[in-house]
Every structure is written in structure tokens, then in C-alpha cells.
């Protein structure tokens, strides 16, 4: 499992270990490894943008006797910014972590997964189905991950492998808090023109993200859904986590684009900063 330092990843590692799995849990720092280490959980220092780390993981997995049951691609970062205002190097960094890193890990472990009729579980997002304003960068990576998952599912199904996507909505994790901090940093770096065009929108998004972080689904609930995706004998191709994800993915299939735009704008409207008297 990648991205197991905190949040959904850490909770899923513990849930799978509780169910009897031996979990290779990818973390970025030694202190995260120390916090997560437990019976059934073997922390691995893993930056999925580093080919050397991925090669070491593949060797470590291959050297262990037993069946490789599943790869859970959970690592990710959150970046919210208007399309016009986000520097290209930030776009590239986001895609390296949220998409290309997952492809690299999948390519490295796929031979073992194929030998054992395992499965790939890709942690996407409701943002892989619906993109609100300023979610273009993050949702772009998740839309792409959904497409890669669809293609991979069809490619390996005849070989006895399954590919499953999990789409969380708002979940109470540190990722939301980190995302707000990143959004603030990027907003401070915007040009005066960009701030004039998008400043209130960015503030509204930060407030909406904070509300979703505090009122979202628990990581334990998300972990149980991920464990189901790993263990179900006949898993669905997609699982949602949380009522918001279930509702939005359903609406995205039913509503015309402009009607969905109006619904998302109405959802965001209460979070805009109130005008100050003066």
C-alpha cells in the first residue's frame, strides 16, 4: 500500500492487518514508520516519484514468501488553484505524485500480481468524476487515474486480475488540512491580476474544504470500503466512500453539464467571504 503515513492509508493498513494480511505500508519518513509499525504491518520508506524506492519495494515484495494479493495505490497530494494561476511546475509535480507514480508502482508489481491473480485498488476521489472550480489540477489527476484504471481493468481481466477504483468524498484526514495550507501558499503567490479575478473564489474553496475535513466520513469507514475492495470475491469496478461521493457521482451521470455547474456553484456560494462594510 502506498501513502500509508496517515489518514486513509494508515487506517487501511491497520484494517487489512486486522483481517490477517501482511501489509507493506509505504511511508515517507522514519517517524511515520515507527508510528505505524505493528503486527502485520511492515513499513517501507517509499516516495513513488523515486524509481530507486520503487525498485527496492518490488525486490522486497518479491523476496517474501507468499501471495501478493493486492496493490493499493493511495499516495496523493491535494492542490486547489485556478487553472490560469497555477504554475506549470506545480501541475507537473501534482501529476508525478497522483498519476505517474501510481503507474510506476503498478508496472513494477504487476508481474507478481499476475502470477497470483491479485488485484489493483486505485484510490481516486469524487474529484475523479466531478470537478468544481479550482479543482482542475487535482481532479485532472483523478480523472486520468480513472481512465488508466478503466484501461488496465480491460487489459488484465482476461489474465485473471481485477482492477478496482475507490472514490472517497469528504474524509476527515490531515490531507485536507495540508491542502488548505497549499492553497493558501499558492494564493499568496498569485499575481495581483489573478487575485482580483479569483481571490474570493479561493477563499470560498478553502472554507468549503475546511468544512468537508471536519464534517466528512471517518478514515475507519473509508478503510473498511478499501478492505472490501481488496477482499470481495467479486468486487465492483468502483466503490464510493461517503454520501457526498455517492450523490455527486450519481448526479454527474444524470444532469446536463450546465445544470451540474449551477448546482456546484450553489453549493459553494455560502462559503464566499462576506462583503465588509466600508
Catalytic residues, by residue number, are 138
Buried b (16+ CB within 10 A) or exposed e, 55-86: eebbeebeeeeeebebbbbbbbbbbbbbeebb
How far is Cα 32 from Cα 60, in angstroms, rounded to an integer? Answer: 19
How far is Cα 161 from Cα 202, in angstroms, rounded to an integer? Answer: 42
- Residue in the block written with cell 487535482: 138
CA distances from 138 to 21, 44, 108, 130 (A): 31, 26, 24, 11
Buried b (16+ CB within 10 A) or exposed e, 225-248: bbbbbbeeeebeebbbbbebbeeb
To the nearest 5 percent, what fractions of the chain are helix, strand and coil? 60, 10, 30
CA distances from 265 to 166, 177, 181, 261, 262 (A): 25, 22, 23, 6, 5
Amino acid at each position: 500500500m502506498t501513502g500509508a503515513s496517515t489518514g486513509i492509508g494508515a487506517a487501511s493498513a491497520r484494517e487489512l492487518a486486522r483481517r490477517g494480511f501482511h501489509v507493506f505500508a509505504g511511508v515517507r519518513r522514519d517517524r511515520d514508520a515507527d508510528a505505524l509499525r505493528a503486527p502485520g504491518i511492515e513499513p517501507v520508506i517509499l516516495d513513488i516519484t523515486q524509481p530507486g524506492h520503487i525498485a527496492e519495494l518490488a525486490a522486497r515484495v518479491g523476496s517474501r514468501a507468499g501471495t501478493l494479493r493486492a496493490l493499493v495505490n493511495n499516495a496523493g497530494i491535494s492542490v486547489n488553484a485556478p487553472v490560469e494561476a497555477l504554475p506549470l511546475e506545480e501541475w507537473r509535480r501534482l501529476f508525478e505524485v497522483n498519476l505517474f507514480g501510481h503507474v510506476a508502482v503498478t508496472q513494477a508489481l504487476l508481474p507478481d500480481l499476475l502470477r497470483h491473480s491479485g488485484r489493483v485498488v486505485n484510490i481516486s476521489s469524487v474529484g475523479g468524476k466531478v470537478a468544481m472550480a479550482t479543482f482542475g489540477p487535482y481532479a485532472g489527476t483523478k480523472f486520468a487515474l480513472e481512465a488508466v484504471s478503466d484501461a488496465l481493468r480491460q487489459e488484465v481481466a482476461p489474465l485473471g486480475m481485477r482492477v478496482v477504483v475507490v472514490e472517497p468524498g469528504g474524509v476527515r484526514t490531515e490531507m485536507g488540512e495540508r491542502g488548505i495550507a497549499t492553497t493558501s501558499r499558492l494564493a499568496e503567490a498569485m499575481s495581483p491580476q489573478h487575485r482580483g479575478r479569483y481571490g474570493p473564489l479561493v477563499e470560498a474553496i478553502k472554507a468549503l474544504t475546511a468544512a468537508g475535513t471536519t464534517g466528512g466520513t471517518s478514515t475507519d469507514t473509508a478503510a473498511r470500503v478499501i478492505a472490501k475492495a481488496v477482499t470481495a470475491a467479486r468486487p465492483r469496478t468502483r466503490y464510493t466512500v461517503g454520501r457526498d461521493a455517492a450523490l455527486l457521482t450519481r448526479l454527474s451521470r444524470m444532469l446536463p453539464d450546465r445544470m451540474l455547474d449551477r448546482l456546484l456553484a450553489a453549493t459553494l456560494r455560502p462559503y464566499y467571504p462576506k462583503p465588509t462594510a466600508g
